[in-house]
Each structure stands twice: as structure tokens, then as C-alpha cells.
Structure 1
């Protein structure tokens, strides 16, 4: 009989030990939802019954009228920041307490990933960011504008060569191929035409690096975030060895060829090599137009930070180039896909944008310039609203790097003491869809970003590229690339719904990244210019 009592006691103790971590926020006086046993708040997403953006929206709304609330990723407590002023306080004013992202892959298991700007932490991140940020200013974007424009012309000429009046395409596929060619050209010095050479090695490696469609890849990605120590213990790689070897070899061979033959071309490899040789400076001029409303500014924290003390190695350059590729390959093509979808189902918006495209086309005799593209106000409004409704980064995290206290602001609050290594999450997707900040959030309305209305947008409620010194370094590039391509497309085509177009759009629940369940099937309808 004693063994039965012992077994019951053991089971009870195990249950209590597994249940207790989900009391963490309650014990700190923070409101939380109803986390599932063991799985916490991410169970539905882990089981592929909920997309990640839907999860973000759910946890944002589960404790209304609070500045923050608690969730659990398995047993890991995470604080959801919901108040714009609090987001500013943590990501900007007190940034030195929240410098890092969650580090989930060890340097030993995957040095190519661990040395990129997103994954670096502490002093190393500050040095690399300060060294690289001058390569992403608007003046440098003007420097590589011609290469992106060439890829845009190549893209549209492919479809102009088709005989159909309406060409049915899956937009994510063709935009991913365009993004691949742009990044190959601007970041790696490799020229591709992935619409014609559909199985080129560069594109296939990019697909391998960014594919999260399989169940097990999603599980691995999920474990990275909820159990980083476990992934480090088992030396789990972020990129496959084949992908890492391919891109490392590509960059190193490219650098050797340039240095041997004195090759100079207007691309990111050149800018990174210049940063290695003599450093780059923030040389912004008031005469250089910026890329749009969504552009994030480089903060003084990194502008004035000390540049890297040791030499930038070929491995460092390969790491930055690969993460640049990783981000651009998927997130930019998702932005383009969702923007094209919204233009197709909102023909009044598209007609207004086509009118601006035609006026710009005529004013520059069909040869778009950097200045004329960025002078297109309605284009910027459409892109800004696309990023408002469909931010490609549903949420961004910060790790508390030294103890911090969120002081009480309202009578029902008390000071909240955050220990080192506690994770906080900024729910961008949900904030962008909060009717308190954006009335009728499901409606696609570029007028939210006209000159009058955008001045009334509450600070830190529009965060498509993150917030604070650790924002996305490539925002200018992403905006420029998107605007160039849509200028070329709408100069010759209208984007229209077809029989396979899913209306309304349903998000895919089987991928961690933002995607449509049934794809982005639309038509390119040839238009005649008078």
C-alpha cells in the first residue's frame, strides 16, 4: 500500500513542479491568461492551429486595460508590453537595460548565424552596429539604386514578353525570385535571373535557408525561442551546413576576386569592405531624400558608439551578408505579396497609385530616378499602410540584461521588478490592429498616412521595423526595393483578382513566418499606355 501512496505523492509533486512556473507573473502581481499545462500560451501555435501573428494578437488582447501582461512560452515567463510610452521607455530611454535579443544558437554550433548583427549581443553588437550603420544610410541607398532598378526592369520585361492579356501568378513565388536576384546582385555581387533560371543554386540555397513550412522545422524554430539552452546543448544549427558552406565560400571568393583585380561595384560587399579598410561615416546630406515614413532613424546610441576594435573578417562580412539575404528573401517578398493583394482587392487605391506612377513615368521619360521615386507621396502612403496592416515582424523581443524596475503608474499597479534574463515582447502586429490607434484596423486605408493624418499617429504605435537603437538596419533598403518594383509593375500592368484569389485572405498556420494559407494568386493585367 505504501508504494501506491508514494506514487501518488510523486505524481502530485511532479504536477506541482510543472505547474508552479506558470504562477510566476501572478506572484509578481502581473495579470496573465490561462496558460496550458506545460505548453504555456503557445500551445495552439505549436500545434499549427494558430499562426504566430494570431498568437501575438491573442496575448495582446487577453488582459485588456493593462500596460503589460504576462505569458509563458513553455515555462519561460515573458512580459508583453502594450503601452506605447512603456515601449519607448524600455526600447529607447532605458535601452541599456534591454540591449539584446534572445540568443538561441551557440557560436560553436553555427558561427555564421551567431556572428550576424541580429544575433550578436552586448559590446560586440554595439561595435558591429556602429561600424555597419553608415552603409545603410539614404546616401548609400542612392549609391546602389541603379542595381535594384536593373533588377526591376528585368522582372517586368519577363512578363511583358508573355502573350496573355492576364497572367496568373503566385505573387510570393515571383517576388521571392525578384528579392533573390536583388540581394544576389546588391549583397553578393552575383547576377541572377530567377524567373528564367528557376533552379539556380543561389535561389535554391535561399529557399533552404528560409523555408519553415515543415512541421519539424517549425518545432525546431519554436524550441529555439522557448528552450535556447536545450538548442545550445545539442548544438542545433540555424542554417544547414550546406547553406552555410555555400554562402561563406561565395563571399570569401568574391572578396578575394575584388581585392586581387581591383573590382569596384555599387553593392553591399563593397560598402562592407570599405568599412573594413577605413571605416564609413554617417554622411547624410539634407539634399538626399529618405525612403519614406516607415524608415527608422539611426539613434545617437549607435552613431556615437565606438567602432569595432578588431579587424572585420571575411567571416564577419559573410555573416552580415547572409542575414541580410535571409531577411530580404522572405520578409520583403511578403510585404510585396501583401501589398499586391491589397491593391487587387482595393481597385480604387490601385487606380490612384497608377495615376501617380504614370505622372512620374512621364516626368522622368520612363527612366525612374532615385529622387523621382521617393517623391511619390501616394506610393509611400500605400507602402506605409501595407506595413501597418501586415507588419512582417509580428513581434520583437528584448532581454533584460541587468535588473530593472517598471515603476507603478496607475492605482492598481505596483512596481514590477524584472530580473536579469527576463524576456519582454513588443506585439507589433497587435498594436497595429488596435482600434484605439487605428480605427477600423481591418480596412486598408492609405489615407491614414497622408500629410495631415500621419502627424497625428501616436508615437510608438507604428513599429514595422522595430523600435530604438536595435531597430532594423535594413529598413531603407526594403522600402526602396518595394517602391522600385511596384513602379515598374504598375507602369505596365494592373494587379487584379483571379479565380484562385483567396478573398478574404487567411493566414497560414503551418509556418512561423507570415504567409497566406492558399498563396497569393493574382493576375497581372496588361495595360495600354496612351
Structure 2
């Protein structure tokens, strides 16, 4: 046996493997751009893959590599990414030069997950522009107002359940509980399906929602990373983010609803109805197809089910940790109800300044997305990262990150940035208009569902806090700690909190109830 030949072959394989897993890792060194030392294959993602860090903390750590730089480098596995630090540069990329950066980098392989790939967030180029124009009328303030009553019905039922819990049932994991509310809202407002997931936790909407939208498991996060970074492998192994039978269920539901309404003329103030009405205004041949309606409807389900449950769970935890903030918010809710004959109206809710401040401060500390991205489609020259450096040209096909979570926690923009302080947003438009507050993104690709999401959270908080108080519980981990190594924002060991009925809970009425006074 020729051991030398075997040894040389093995060395050749290892060298080839090393080259393959590091072939793009010299770009930033070559151009003098500050970056963390990459490891073979993983680049700068190793600590996340090893479950040593949260995605938010990884983004912050990268952002802090050089406080004086306008941008730094990051390797998402083999892919070099420019992480922007300068607010003017962020505006230049997301707004002033949007023709150079119009798209997101693909998150899934559309051949494997066609419904997920057909969501508005995943679309690029002219296809995205066309569909954004078709969907924008669905999310105006007037249209959200038509869905307010549907949300309120879900929230009222949910708050009633919490206020009537027996004492031994009051400690609970909030995210799993709140996902039942977000499920019911989306089922009602998007699909015209009325479900009560608290009483019927095995309903198909809730079960399929948990299966398809939660990336809070390490396994699901790895599948998404493979889709994003090795799409050919996802296709080869048919690694689906959303199972085929779930995609079929949501498509068939939309198809049947649309067919029934077209045949009978039935009407309901939900998103499918708005899609159909918008189609009537389109030129023949340019209407939204049933498949496209199904894709976008699922997109709102996918985007809202877990994300809003996570965000509201964080808010509940912060309110429990800060009872003075919770009490002040409850006072505003009580006063609003008293001034509106015990009813929560859309207009009255949007006049609640402290409610806005609490939600904005939560979104600042723990944004829904730790970063947002843009894909370069035409070469673009960045100014020097630091004084004395040379400009850097972002080539078509390169990815740019806007580190939302890191900017939100930068003391340059926020005094005592790690403190939960809603007063920084109370009657203060300076922060929200400063360019340093980016909870839903920036520019033309800002999240189209932000009004819907904010209204959904506000309605829930008003109904629940009018009837209940949120307290720390024996299983609460404080201060808040997030799960490491996953994409979804979720608490380590969950969000365990306790619910206590308020003595003055009789001050609240449902939308249709007669007015009552608040004590």
C-alpha cells in the first residue's frame, strides 16, 4: 500500500476544503476594513451556531468593533457583509440611493418553499414594486380601523379569560399564551376564520401557526441558515421551512373564501376582502391571482404570529419588572375608558401618548429584527470607513446590514440606553424622527404591516391591563435573558409571569357593551 500517496491525497483534500471554507475571507483584510477574525466555514457566525450568543448581541458586538468607523465588515459564513454604522450612510443606502439597494437578500429557496418565497418581503425588483403597490391600500389607517373591531373582539375575549383564572393557574408562560391571541387576530382579520385558541388550543390555525412560524428552535434556525447560505443544499435535501400540507391548507382556504365571496357577494372587513376590492381597480390581466393572495395572506400570518407574540411577551416582562410604568399605563387606560363611556375606540386608543411611549421603548430595547438588510444590485462607492482610509465599492450582489438593535442601544443616541425608560419617547418626536429609531426599517421597504402590528399590540395591552396586572413570578428570570443561538426572540426558559385580576376591572367594557364608570 502506498501510504505516501494516501497521505498526499488526504492533505490535498484538507487544503481544498480549507480553501473552499475560507475563499472569501480575505476581502476586508485586503481593503483595510475593520472586522472580526473569521473562522473557516462559519465566518463570524461561529458563536451563534455554537449557541454562545444571541443574534442581537452578535450584531451589537460587530457594531462595537470600531466606534469611529462609518462601517465594519462581517462574514455571514462565506458571504462578506458590510455593516453600516453611520446614520447618514444608512439613509443614503435605504432612501437616497434606493435604486442601488432595492432588495433583500433571499431568505429561502423559492423552489423548496414557494409560498414563503412568494411573500412580499421575499420579492425583489419590479415584482416587489408591483405587489407593494397592490398591497399598500390594504394598510392605510382607514383600512386598519375597519379591522380594529375584529382585533378588539379577540382581545376582549382574551382579557376576560385572564381575569377569571383561578389563583393556581395565574403563573404562566406568556409567549405561548400570547401566540393564541395573535393567532386569533390573524385568523379573523386575514382569513375570516373565528377561533378561540385559549379554549381550543388544538385548532388547526394555532397548531399550523406554531409549526410554520417559530424559529425559536435551534434545528429550525439551522434550516433557515442553510436556505439563506447554501440554497442548493436546501433544494437537494428538500429542507422545507413550511411543510407542504400546511402551505396547501392556507392556499385552499383562501381559494375557497374568494370563490364563495365572488359567487355570493358576501362581504367582511378583512384583508382578503381588501385584496378583492383592490383587484377591481386594477387593469385587466394585472389583478392579484388567488395564489398571490394566498402567498401574501400567509406572509402576514407568518410575520405576525410569532413576532408580535414575542414582542408583547417582552413588553409584559418589562412592565412586570417596572411596576411604576405599568401603574402609569393603567391610569392612562382607565382615564381613556372613563372619558369614552367605558369603550375603547380606535381614535381614543391612538391618542394614548404613554401607551405609544411604552411600545416604542420596548421596540427600541428589543427590536423585532436585530438587523435589516439590503442587497446591492448596482455597484456603489462608499466613503472611507475612517479618516485616511480609501473608499470602498460595494459590488452588485453584496449584502449590507443596518444594525437596528445596536443603534438602538448606542449611548451616542440614547442616554442610559440599557434602561427601560418610556419617558424618553413621551411627547418627544425628536427621537422617532432622528433616524436612530428603526423598529420597522427605513425607506421604501419599511415593513408594510407596521400599523397593523402596532394596533394589534395596543388593543391587547388596553384590554388586558384594564382588567389585570402583570407580576413577576417564581419562575421569572430577571433581568430578562434571551435564548441563544436562535433567530426568534424568545426568553431563556420562556417568559414566565403571573396575572392578577384588578379590583377595578369592572371599569372596562367590550366594544359593544354599554358604558360603565371607572373607579
- When normalised by structure 2's length, the TM-score is 0.92
Aligned partners of 2:108 and 2:228 also within 8 Å = no
Please report the RMSD computed on the Cα atoms of aligned residues, expressed in angstroms.
Answer: 2.0
Aligned partners of 2:468 and 2:499 also within 8 Å = yes
2:31 pairs, out of 18, 28, 32, with: 28
Shift of 1:100: 1.0
Question: What corresponds to 2:343 in structure 1?
Answer: 367
Question: What corresponds to 1:390 in structure 2?
Answer: 366
Aligned partners of 1:166 and 1:526 also within 8 Å = no
Distance 1:13 1:328, change over 3 A: closer
Matches within 5 A, 1:441-456: 441-452=417-428, 454-456=429-431
**Whole-Å Cα distance in 1 between the matches of residues 17 and 237 of structure 2?**
25
Matches within 5 A, 1:51-450: 51-164=54-167, 167-232=170-235, 234-279=237-282, 310-408=286-384, 410-450=386-426
* SS of residue paired to 1:455: helix
Shift of 1:105: 3.0
Q: What whole-Å deviation, never above 9, does each CA across 1:341-376 have from its counterpart, x for those lacking one? A: 111110111111111011001111221111100010
Question: What corresponds to 2:511 in structure 1?
Answer: none
Shift of 1:10: 6.2
Question: What corresponds to 2:492 in structure 1?
Answer: 517
Aligned partners of 1:105 and 1:232 also within 8 Å = no
**Whole-Å Cα distance in 1 between the matches of residues 385 and 239 of structure 2?**
42
Distance 1:147 1:16, change over 3 A: closer
Shift of 1:115: 1.5
Q: What whole-Å deviation, never above 9, does each CA across 1:377-420 have from its counterpart, x for those lacking one? A: 11000011010011011111111111111133753231111111
Give the aligned length: 502
* SS of residue paired to 1:44: helix
Shift of 1:12: 4.5
Question: What corresponds to 2:445 in structure 1?
Answer: 470
Shift of 1:151: 0.8
* SS of residue paired to 2:393: strand
Instruction: Please say if 1:501 is aligned against 2:476.
Output: yes
**Whole-Å Cα distance in 2 between the matches of residues 432 and 308 of structure 1?**
46
**Whole-Å Cα distance in 2 between the matches of residues 214 and 339 of structure 1?**
22
Q: What whole-Å deviation, never above 9, does each CA across 1:187-218 have from its counterpart, x for those lacking one? A: 00000000000111110000011132443322
**Whole-Å Cα distance in 2 between the matches of residues 118 and 329 of structure 1?**
15
**Whole-Å Cα distance in 2 between the matches of residues 480 and 220 of structure 1?**
32
Aligned partners of 1:128 and 1:308 also within 8 Å = no
Shift of 1:173: 1.3
Worse overlay, 32-41 or 372-381? 32-41
**Whole-Å Cα distance in 2 between the matches of residues 363 and 240 of structure 1?**
49
Distance 1:524 1:91, change over 3 A: same
Aligned partners of 1:437 and 1:458 also within 8 Å = no
* SS of residue paired to 1:413: coil
Shift of 1:525: 1.2
Shift of 1:174: 1.4
**Whole-Å Cα distance in 2 between the matches of residues 230 and 77 of structure 1?**
20
**Whole-Å Cα distance in 2 between the matches of residues 204 and 10 of structure 1?**
46
**Whole-Å Cα distance in 2 between the matches of residues 273 and 8 of structure 1?**
63
Q: What whole-Å deviation, never above 9, does each CA across 1:91-143 have from its counterpart, x for those lacking one? A: 00001111111124343322211211011110000000011111101111111
In structure 1, the gaps of 5 or more residues are 280-306
In structure 2, the gaps of 5 or more residues are 505-518
Worse overlay, 21-30 or 425-434? 21-30
Aligned partners of 1:115 and 1:316 also within 8 Å = yes
**Whole-Å Cα distance in 2 between the matches of residues 9 and 498 of structure 1?**
58
Aligned partners of 1:99 and 1:399 also within 8 Å = yes
- When normalised by structure 1's length, the TM-score is 0.90
Aligned partners of 2:72 and 2:385 also within 8 Å = no
Aligned partners of 1:494 and 1:526 also within 8 Å = yes
